[in-house]
Amino acid sequence: MTTIRSLVLETPAASPEHTHRHYMNKLSVETDVSDVCYDLKNGVADFLLIDVRSSQAYAECHVPGAISLPSNQINAETTAAFSKEQVIVVYCWGPACNGGTKGAARLSALGFRVKEMLGGIEYWRKEGNDVEGTLGHSACMIG
């Protein structure tokens, strides 16, 4: 009889304490579409929402209340009016885009507390949430 090895168990699972720290660290730098939508719908606006896609993509379709600041334009001058006390939430196109990650890295390097909204505008729209912009829901889903 041949024993088949487990690919899942080949690497031992971490301790519950280590696992808890890992997921709490992950949650400290990420949020999702549902949580952002819930907060916005309930008037909880203690964070600044930034669309880090191109200015054109923002103009065509964006999350209501978001401001446009393309990730490649994030620097000390373009963020001078932002409060270092307020959490910033960034988003880009979707799961296949790393613009949000780049934006979060640039903002955190400047001393801001930041979270990336997982799913980006793609999942914002897929979940049926409202959008603003010249093309609204008919805008392209990818960049």
Per-residue pLDDT of the chain (143 residues; tens, 9 = 90+): 788 999 999 999 999 999 999 999 999 999 999 999 999 999 997 999 999 999 999 999 999 999 999 999 999 999 999 999 999 999 999 999 999 999 999 999 999 999 999 999 999 999 999 999 999 999 988 87
In a domain, 21, yes or no: no
CATH of the domain at 57: 3.40.250.10
Within-domain flag for 115: yes
Would 2 be classed as within a structural domain?
no
Strands 30-32 and 114-118: parallel
Give residue 139's pLDDT. 95
Quote the pLDDT of residue 3.
87
Instruction: Please say whether the beta carbons of 98 and 123 come within 8 A.
Output: no
> Is the residue at 3 inside a domain?
no
What pLDDT shows up at residue 79? 98
Asked if residue 27 is part of any domain, the answer here is no
19 in a domain, yes or no? Answer: no
Q: Residue 128: which domain range?
A: 32-132
User: Has residue 54 been placed in a domain?
Assistant: yes
Counting the structural domains of the chain, the total is: 1
Contact 89, 49 (CB under 8 A): yes
Per-residue pLDDT at 143: 76
Who contacts 95 (Cβ-Cβ below 8 Å, separation ≥6)? 118, 119, 120, 122, 123
Q: Which residues of 32-64 are buried (b: 16+ CB within 10 A; e: fewer)?
A: bbebbbebbeeeeeebbbbbbbbeebbebbbbe
The verdict on residue 108 lying in a domain is yes
Concatenated DSSP letters for 20-33? HHHHHHHHHHEEEH
Cβ 120 vs Cβ 92: under 8 Å:
yes
